Amino acid sequence: MSVASSSSVPSSSASDSAARASAAPSAQAVPGGAYPLAGRSVARVGYGAMQLERHSARPEAAASVLSHALDLGVNHLDTADFYGASFVNDVIRRVVGSLDAVARDRVIVATKVGAETNPQGPIPLRPAQRPDQLRANVEDNLRTLGSDHLDLVYLRRLEVRPGIQPEGDQDVPLDDQLETMIALRDEGLIRSIGISAVTIDTLRRAIPAGISAVQNAHSVVDRTFEDMMRLTAEHGIAWVPFFPLGSGFPGHAKVVEQPAAQAAARRLGATPSQVGLAWLLQRTPNTLIIPGTSDAAHLDENVAAGDLVLDAEAVAELDALQVVGGGEIRWETAEA
């Protein structure tokens, strides 16, 4: 993340190719190894910052957790302006903004557009899918992150459940949305375009726009989008699964509850969550994980998963699982 002018920032397709060819990790630890994203090299273990909103009454605690992530070598942060009504973005702005220029430029901040806060509604989010709303969302993120450009912006399409669904004027053609995202990239306001909560057909249609990363749910217990994972690998697109340990909603399957994950953890001297995260990292080299937490010790555990190598027995047992949980969706923030 940089506050320097982005008018000459290259598009994601060219810059990611250059990063893949020449990126070399610094002397600092690179949790999980490195992969190119938004024109730079990032650690494959990143940090999903949504959980920082748990510290909304104590901003200094949120800043401490985020600073600890950076100290551990994490340089891929995932956020959204609607996390904590801009609270999370504000924490990122203050912490990343306090770094020296070299350190700051190594940090990639990914955000997303396509939804906005709905504090008075039964669900705390509502769709914001129209092109004018996408542009306004980008401008909001620029303001709250305190930057003149955004490294990576996901278009959250809301095509797959669970979650809010677009209706009426929120049911917008993909081409109209991509036209807006490309224009924002051409204007230098965003560096790279990502896409999220989409079907594989939508991804195929979007690839020519220069998609840098894809976010859909993916874990040991939910492999609905395995074909999409393979497609991203074929195209050199980063695969950044959310819900990496199973859905955060109550009533849905969790990796840590699976006997296979628990047995592998005991044998390898790890935790079940570390086993689940390591399984993702071993699937494809383009997989980047962004587990979130509001606790420094839990953060240490997540980052250490980048060093865990699953043996053939563990991989076979986990691969044999075929669980997709169901249940009532309750809008509660859960550790991931």
Q: Is 83 a catalytic residue?
A: yes
CA distance 76 to 107: 6
CB 253 within 8 A of CB 323: yes
CB 206 within 8 A of CB 174: yes
CA distance 14 to 303: 29
CB 128 within 8 A of CB 114: yes
- In angstroms, the Cα distances linking 47 to 77, 110, 139, 158 are 5, 10, 23, 22
3-class secondary structure for 89-116? HHHHHHHHHCCCHHHHHCCEEEEEECEE
Q: Scan for tokens 């962004």, then name that residue.
A: 290
What b-and-e string marks burial along 245-278, b requiring 16 or more CB atoms within 10 Å of the CB? bbbbbeebbbbbebebbebbbeebebbbbbbbbb
Catalytic position from the list 35, 47, 83, 154: 83
CA distance 52 to 227: 32
Active site residues: 83
